[in-house]
Amino acid sequence: MANIKPFRAVRPTRDKVSLVASRSYQSYTQSEREARLDHNPYSFLHIVNPGYKYDKEISGKERYQLVKNRYSEFKEDGVFVQDKLPSFYVYKIIDRDHQVFNGIIAAASVEDYKNNVIKKHEDTIESREIIFKDYLKTVGFNAEPVLLTYPDNANISFIVNEVQKERAEFEFTTTYRDTHYLWEINSANDVQTIANAFAEMDTLYIADGHHRSSSSALLCDALTAENPNHNGKETYNHFMSFLIAESELKLHEFYRIIKDLNGLSKEEFLIQLDTIYRIDNRGIMPYKPSKPHHFSMYLDGEFYSLYLRKNDYTFKTALDQLDAQLLYDTILKPILGINDLRNDTRIDYLSGKKDVVNLKSMVDSGTFKVGFGMVPATIEQLKAIADEGLTMPPKSTYIEPKLRSGVTIYEF
């Protein structure tokens, strides 16, 4: 059973939420960050980039303490206020493409993560886990929820739909033309109904936020060891999550772009591909695959379709069926010599949400030699891989929705 709890979020005031909310720090270009920091004193970027105040790059423990200081200042100035009652928060996004995402922001259990009630499908990097654990321990809050998905549930959907008939606590539109809404749920009946619905679920799945989850587990262990009065009810026993029904989750692929052909000529490369793929030259017109185990390839100014010769390939696990893994097993590793997908500088990734023309331009620029596209993974594949205790290659899925930082904050 999944243990999902309401919590007392720290939130911006209604009049300032649109100014506070920000995308993840890494998603901005330097000029975009500087523009927001120069002209918006309420941006959450001021908290996560505290050195900007001193015109200095600051890292490590010194930065963590300054993040805590900036956060405290936002609370002292009344920009952030903590809710009086533990609540679930219904969060809705309508993006520029008119896609609608509904979910619930809540506290998920670290114990559930450790016991595999909350299942993962990606490996984490230990050094990143430790860095983020140390960051969380110093600053004392988390502003980016882990994205969890669950089977569609009629009771939860009913409450989510009913609460949206009332005026939203927050409603704001970003410069990306996404509109965000937030409602509080703190009535005893609704809170219990939601908690009971999740308690009846055997498994939740991490869709996005594997490092945040693992770091929260490390933080819980550290704070438990330091607390002689630990009783399991402390806030550090949970971590902030955005729970979304499987039917509302949107998965995109990632393109793979490679800097060279591993010493092969174009003709030698195509001949090696021919042993396991049926290859058709599609010319200059952009091509995207429409079926699993079909790939697009852009090489030397032309698009190609690659169809797996299934008689020569055997699938043994759910991971084998994943196209990102198949591409690695049949092309990236044996032909192009890319063994370490996380650290090899010869490979890069582009979100499949962007047009295939972006892939073409990267190759045409000469920075990259060849690019590959595939169909997106499915939620069923993600779950099957997690259920088998396996992990996807990095950048196997680009998952929506993407929430803004600083809209709800979870304190430890």
pLDDT of residue 11: 98
Same domain, 213 and 94: yes
pLDDT of residue 315: 92
Burial 189-223 (b: 16+ CB within 10 A, else e): ebbeebbebbeeeebbbbbbbbbbbbbbbbbbeeb
pLDDT of residue 98: 93
Q: How many CB atoms lie within 10 A of CB 45?
A: 22
In single-letter form, the type of residue at position 168 comes to A
Same domain, 214 and 361: no
Same domain, 268 and 361: yes
Same domain, 85 and 184: yes
Report residue 109 as tokens: 């259990």
C-beta of residue 138 within 8 angstroms of C-beta of residue 65: yes
Q: Is the peptide bond before 86 cis (omega within 30 degrees of 0)?
A: no
Backbone phi, psi, residue 138, to 5°: -75, -50
How many domains, the chain?
Answer: 2
Same domain, 287 and 180: no
CB within 8 A of 371, min separation 6: which ones?
Answer: 255, 256, 257, 258, 297, 298, 299, 350, 359, 360, 362, 363
**Domain extent at residue 223:** 4-251+400-411
CA dihedral 138→143→144→147, nearest 10 degrees, is 110
Same domain, 156 and 300: no
How far, in Å, are 324, 391, 406 from residue 341 at the CA level? 11, 13, 32
Helices 188-199 and 154-163 cross at an angle (nearest 10°) of 150
Same domain, 206 and 284: no
In single-letter form, the type of residue at position 303 comes to F
Same domain, 229 and 282: no
Per residue of the chain (412 residues), what is the pLDDT tens digit? Answer: 999 999 999 999 999 999 999 998 888 888 998 999 999 999 999 999 998 888 888 888 899 999 999 999 999 999 999 999 999 999 999 999 899 999 999 999 999 999 999 999 988 878 889 999 999 999 999 999 999 999 999 999 999 999 999 999 999 999 889 999 999 999 999 999 999 999 999 999 999 999 999 999 999 999 999 999 999 999 999 999 999 999 999 999 999 999 999 999 999 999 999 999 999 999 999 999 999 999 999 999 999 999 999 777 889 999 999 999 999 999 999 999 999 988 899 999 998 888 888 899 999 999 999 999 999 999 999 999 999 999 999 889 999 998 999 999 999 9
The alpha helices in 124-254, defined as continuous H runs, are 126-139, 154-163, 188-199, 210-226
Same domain, 161 and 206: yes
pLDDT of residue 270: 98
Report residue 189 as tokens: 């009946």
Burial 46-68 (b: 16+ CB within 10 A, else e): bbbbbebeeeeebeeeebbebbb
pLDDT of residue 27: 82
Q: How many CB atoms lie within 10 A of CB 78?
A: 10
C-beta of residue 25 within 8 angstroms of C-beta of residue 45: yes
pLDDT of residue 265: 98
Same domain, 213 and 272: no
Same domain, 235 and 258: no
Backbone phi, psi, residue 63, to 5°: -65, -45
Same domain, 237 and 258: no
Residue 73, classed as helix, strand or coil, is helix
Please name which of 243, 244, 227 lies closest in space to residue 235, comparing C-alpha atoms.
227
Q: How many CB atoms lie within 10 A of CB 136?
A: 23
**CATH number for the domain including 279?**
3.30.1760
